[in-house]
Structure formats: C-alpha cells, structure tokens
Amino acid sequence: MLDLGQYTSLWGVTAYFLIFFLGLIIGSFLNSIIWRLWDNIAIFARTRSICVHCRQQLSWKENIPLFSYLMLRGKCLHCHRNISKFYPWVEFITAVIITLVARHYLPLGNFSEWSFLRDLFFVAFLVVIFIQDLRYQVIFPAVVWSGTIIGLIINISFLNYNFNSLLLGAILGGGFFGAQYLLSKGQWIGGGDVRMGIMMGVWLGWQNLLVALFIAYILGAVVAVILLTLKKAQAKTAVPFGTFLAIGTLVALYWGTDLINWYLSFLR
C-alpha cells in the first residue's frame, strides 16, 4: 500500500521533479516525431537532432529540453533563425500532463504499472495528434494505427478490458465519422478523423467514447464561435477537429465514468 504522505516529503518532491524532467525529454522526442513525419524524414534515423532550417546537427547544449530554447533565446546557434515557439510549449505541456498522470496514479494503493504505462503512451499519441492537426491540419495514419494497436494490446492483454466494449467503441467511432465523411464526400471531416474515431473506441470503450465526442464537439463549437466573433475565421474556415478530439479523449480517459454517473444521477 502506497502512502500519500511520502509524496509530500523531500523524496516526493524529488520524484516529481524527475518525472517532470522525464516529461520534458518525452516532449522533445515528440517534437522530433511531429516534425520528421511532416518533413518525411525517418523517425529513428541514425543522425542526431538537426535544425529544421539549416539542417545543422545540434550539439548536446542545444538539445536540452526547454532550457536550450531559453538559453539560445529562441534562435538557432548556427543560422540564427527563429525556433518555433511550438517546440518549448510541447515539451512543457507534455511534462505537465505526465506529471499529473503520475500524480493520479502514485497515491493509489492499487497502483497498476500497465495502466500507468498505457497512459504514458496515450498522452504521447494525443500530444502528437493535437500538434500535427493544429499546425498542419493532418493526422498521419501511422500515428493513429500505432496508437490503436498498442492500446488494444495493453487494454485486452494486460488490463483485461472487455473486448466487446472496445470493439463496439471502434465500430461506433469509425462508423460515426465514416458516415460524415461519406455524406460530405470528405468536406466536413478528413480521413484522419475517421481513423481517430476507431482509435478512441479501442482506447475508451463505447461509453467513454460518447463522453469524448460530446466534449470535443462542445469545445469545437465554443472555439468556432469565439473565432467567428473575433473575425479570426469565416464560416467555411477549416477547423482542426483532431485537436478537440485529443482533448476530449484525455478528459474521458480520467473522468469519463464520473461524468456518465453525474449525468445519470439527473435521470433517477
């Protein structure tokens, strides 16, 4: 049984600091994945990290997550061109989310290593999808199918999730977006959203999938209204819906059951 008190001690602070730094490292790796996929460069190429502008290999002091960006004042040491602010933000936000995931699991007496590991994978995939769709308005099939396979294996083989629930979730998620794609001939949503619907169903099961979809559509509507009001977008402006699906999935993963129970309490 894990004691919550131990995580408020000096050792606890040290543990969370190390977890946060691990999150920065993971965020840095995700930045590399996002950029390499977009630029059609092998993710696991033997070459070290390079500048996205001049292609110069980066030294170790240019490769420290978050801190290198601050020390270099957001400019490449070689070509002096600006480094996108997306990179430090991805590293920081990934580190924050992973620290919160650890905070969710560590105090639990029934701590599950596989649940924690699964959620680390899920966070990584969601960050990649969120940023890819936000920056490039694309969700790469390799990312979604990899997430689907990993989620399915862990949920069924190690966490004993109900296969029928996951299968139904995949059918509902893929069918829901697939129908929209066919009816609109690809005008309303893209193929990436259809694939992501399948992945969400495999991750969440059909009940929490509905929660994720509800949250995503509410967020999408709110953001669209704000952009239209501020005249930052027009009625026909494409919205990167994968970003909202990523947020909805993350919320449903941790609070989906609570939200369902809260809603059902009003029907009793």
How many residues are given for the chain? 268
CA pair distance 254, 68, nearest whole angstrom: 33
Q: Residue 158 has what DSSP assignment?
A: I
Cβ(248)–Cβ(223) below 8 Å: no
pLDDT at 267: 76
Comparing CA positions, the residue from 146, 106, 109, 153 lying closest to residue 124 is 146
pLDDT at 46: 59
pLDDT at 53: 85
* Predicted confidence pLDDT, tens digits, the chain (268 residues): 444 444 457 677 788 899 999 999 999 999 999 998 998 887 766 567 888 888 888 888 888 899 999 998 899 888 989 989 999 999 999 999 999 998 888 775 556 789 999 999 999 999 999 999 999 999 999 999 999 999 999 999 999 999 999 999 999 999 999 999 999 988 888 899 999 999 999 999 999 999 999 999 999 999 988 988 888 877 677 778 999 999 999 999 999 888 888 888 887 6
pLDDT at 47: 66
Whether this prediction's pTM lies above 0.75 is answered by yes
DSSP for 42-84, please give it: -TT-SS--B-TTT-PBPPGGG-STTHHHHHTTTB-TTT-PBPP
CA pair distance 17, 35, nearest whole angstrom: 27
One-letter amino acid of 88? P
Structural domain boundaries of the chain? 1-111, 138-268
The torsion of the CA quartet 25, 29, 30, 31, rounded to 10 degrees, works out to 100
pLDDT at 1: 40
pLDDT at 15: 83
Burial of residue 241, with CB atoms counted within 10 A of its CB: 0-12 exposed, 13-18 middle, 19 or more buried? buried
Structure tokens at 152: 């399915």
pLDDT at 42: 76
